Amino acid sequence: MAAVYTLVMLGGTLPVPLYAFWAPRMGFGPFTTTLIFAVYAVGTVLALMVFAALSDRAGRRPPLAAAVLAAAASTALFLVADDVPTLLAARFLCGLSTGVCTATATAALGELAGPGRARRASTVSAVANMGGLGLGTVAAGLFAQYGADPTHLVFRIHLAALVPALLAVAVTPETVADRRWPGLSVRRPALPRQRAARAEFLWAATAVLAAFAVSGLFSSLVPSFLGEQLHVHNVAAVGAQVGLLFLAALAAQVAAPERWAAGRRPAPAFLMAGVAVFETGLWTRSLPTFAVGTLLAGAGIGLAFRRGIAVTQRLADPSRRADLLSTYFLAVYTGTTVPTLALGLLAGPLGRNTATLVLAVAVVATTLTTALHRPTTPTA
């Protein structure tokens, strides 16, 4: 289950370093790149609000199989893409796949781990998510820079890997005992019923929204920062720099002391320090400073994500686990999307550096608020 989760998440970031090839070939600019990202976000949000919670009633395996098939369809479209509409369709399907998989696979891992192993399940879920995102950009950059076919080879390999992933879903034990096929409907974001639990969940969701806003801001900046300001045009370097953020998040989840992962303040501290340092690197055009900020911010993202997963798993009604996880991941992807779209809108009138600074201040203010609030109940 963790391997399937990782593979689907990996597919979500494979295109990130490849826009440098597609843009001149298809004749589009930064606005279209932002639009393609927005379509991915629309697919993800639609999946989380309509499809992801179905697994609480239909079982975990059918939605996961659908997510793998959607990932395969998306990958196939990337292989044949020669115009912007095909890229848009590919990214939309990729968003659907990612949205369904995140909530459903996280719920399944929690149930497969069994009672008393919630911490282990939360760690494995977080590692699969972050590890897949980080490996996607690194793999795409390496294949694009050093492979024979920059925009096709990595997708051929990913498509082949999805075949055993579908078989893995088929043989994984089903963890939902009372299954029935539900009707489709747009669901309001689920929240815990008890007031104190609801407040705890919302604070955790706000913290992860701010953390992934840093991720979205960073991912939007890296290609232009390296290419336009530092004149680094090696695609592998671009993929590695983006991947560094997620791999730092992965390392923090695995290696950080438990008191850091469970506490409310370590993640915001790392995030704010990371934003301050990589903003300094951006303004001074210093790649080493930018890289240090990347490591610090990545650690903060990893800690916030792991803690948020643990809180959500603990507060979720067992019969509606994927429902609450869908709300949690809705916060994650909202955080990823908003800065990217805002940067695309503000960069024109304000300039990229100033627009980035405005967004960074907003993210830091939100992060500081989550760090300073006083919980009404014991936290995870």
Give the residue among 329, 357, 244, 304 at the shortest CA–CA distance from 41. 329
Quote the CA–CA distance of 214 and 208 in Å, as a whole number. Answer: 10
Which pLDDT does position 75 carry in this prediction? 97
Give the residue among 141, 100, 129, 132 at the shortest CA–CA distance from 16. 141
Helix (H, G, I), strand (E, B) or coil at 348: helix
Helix (H, G, I), strand (E, B) or coil at 114: coil
Q: Structural domain boundaries of the chain?
A: 2-174+193-372
Give the residue-averaged pLDDT of 305-325. Answer: 85
Whether residue 321 is predicted with pLDDT greater than 50 in this model: the reply is yes
Read off the pLDDT of residues 160-200 as tens digits, 9 standing for 90 and up: 999 999 999 999 998 887 776 665 556 677 788 888 888 88
Lowest mean pLDDT among 149-158, 265-274, 370-379: 370-379
Which pLDDT does position 184 carry in this prediction? 57
CB proximity list for 167: less than 8 A, separation 6 or greater: none
Which pLDDT does position 263 carry in this prediction? 73
Give the residue-averaged pLDDT of 344-364. Answer: 83
Which pLDDT does position 341 carry in this prediction? 79
Instruction: Give yes or no for a contact between 310 and 316, defined as CB atoms under 8 angstroms apart.
Output: no
Instruction: Give yes or no for a contact between 74 and 90, defined as CB atoms under 8 angstroms apart.
Output: yes
Read off the pLDDT of residues 110-140 as tens digits, 9 standing for 90 and up: 889 888 787 788 888 888 988 998 899 999 9
Which pLDDT does position 356 carry in this prediction? 84
Which pLDDT does position 187 carry in this prediction? 66
CA angle 315, 107, 130 (to 5 degrees): 100
Which pLDDT does position 68 carry in this prediction? 97
Give the residue among 301, 156, 288 at the shortest CA–CA distance from 219. 301
Give the residue-averaged pLDDT of 194-217. Answer: 88
196 or 76: which leads in pLDDT: 76
Dihedral, 373, 367, 251, 282 alpha carbons, nearest 10: -160
Which pLDDT does position 258 carry in this prediction? 76
Mean pLDDT of the chain: 86
Provide the percentage of residues in the chain whose pLDDT is more than 90. 33
pLDDT band at 380 (very low <50, low <70, confident <90, very high): very low
pLDDT band at 298 (very low <50, low <70, confident <90, very high): very high
Which pLDDT does position 332 carry in this prediction? 87
Which pLDDT does position 376 carry in this prediction? 59
Read off the pLDDT of residues 17-35 as tens digits, 9 standing for 90 and up: 898 899 899 988 777 887 8
165 or 343: which leads in pLDDT: 165
Whether residue 39 is predicted with pLDDT greater than 60 in this model: the reply is yes
CB proximity list for 174: less than 8 A, separation 6 or greater: 59, 60, 61
Which pLDDT does position 378 carry in this prediction? 46
Give the residue-averaged pLDDT of 302-330. Answer: 85
The CATH code belonging to domain 2-174+193-372 is 1.20.1250.20
Which pLDDT does position 65 carry in this prediction? 95
Give the residue among 133, 109, 112 at the shortest CA–CA distance from 247. 133
Highest mean pLDDT out of 56-70, 80-94, 106-120, 342-356: 80-94
Burial of 100: CB neighbours in 10 Å, binned 0-12, 13-18, 19+: buried
Whether residue 349 is predicted with pLDDT greater than 50 in this model: the reply is yes
Q: How many residues does the chain have?
A: 380
